[in-house]
Structure formats: C-alpha cells, structure tokens
Homo-oligomer: A and B are copies of this chain.
Amino acid sequence: MLEKTNQVNLLFDFYAPLLKGKQREYLELYYLDDLSLGEIAEMHEVSRQAVYDHIKRAEKQLFEYEDKLRLSARHEQRQALLARMQKIAEGLADEKAREDLTTLLHQLSEMD
C-alpha cells in the first residue's frame, strides 16, 4: 500500500493537470492530504462509494498516462544521467567550468 501511495504521488506530480475536477480533487485529498474515503465523502456530501469510484478512475488514468508518455520513467533516467555528470563536474580541476556546469546541472535537475 505504501508503495502504491508513493507511485500515485509521483505520477500525480506529472499528470495532475490532465485529471478532471472531482478526480483530481478527491485523489489529492486521499493520497496527498491523507484523508479517509469517509472523511472526503462527508466533506463533499457524497457517498463513500462515489469518492472511491472517482479515486479508482483517477488512479487508472494516471497509470495510463504514464504508459503513454512515460514522463516519470524518463524523469528517473534523466536524473541518473545528471547525477553522473555532476560527479564528473565535481572532479574537474578547472574551477570556472566546475561551477558553471554545477549551476546548469542544478537548473536542469530543478526543471524536470
């Protein structure tokens, strides 16, 4: 369950803007804010089943988006390459190059 939570959280980071209103909202409350189905149902004055259905559909969508676009997988790969470059950069005798590369690597890593 924890692994599933982590996966959903990660995918949510990439694909949240593609989710529709209620799906996004309930998923966020459930996974990110850690509310229970019952709490969300009460909050929104809907049935627990309705909340559950929206969340299940949203989860499914996130995994489908990842199957199609692979943003999360590519993010991982990119971060691994950036880490290798950072190691090389740190070993450079040329101080200016070392600093400039580190700055650019940081920018790349942040925007991913």
Contacts and interface: CB of A to CB of B under 8 A. Distances in A.
Interface stretch (A1-9, A48-56, A87-95): A87-95
Contacts of A104: 81, 84-85, 88
A85 B68 contact: no
Q: In the assembly, how many copies of this chain are there?
A: 2
Interface size range on A against B: 20 to 34
Interface in A61-86: 65, 68-69, 71, 74, 77-78, 81-82, 84-85
Contact of A111 (B65, B69, B78, B94): B78
Given A84-B104, A92-B94, A101-B88, A111 B74 contact: yes
Contacts of A34: none
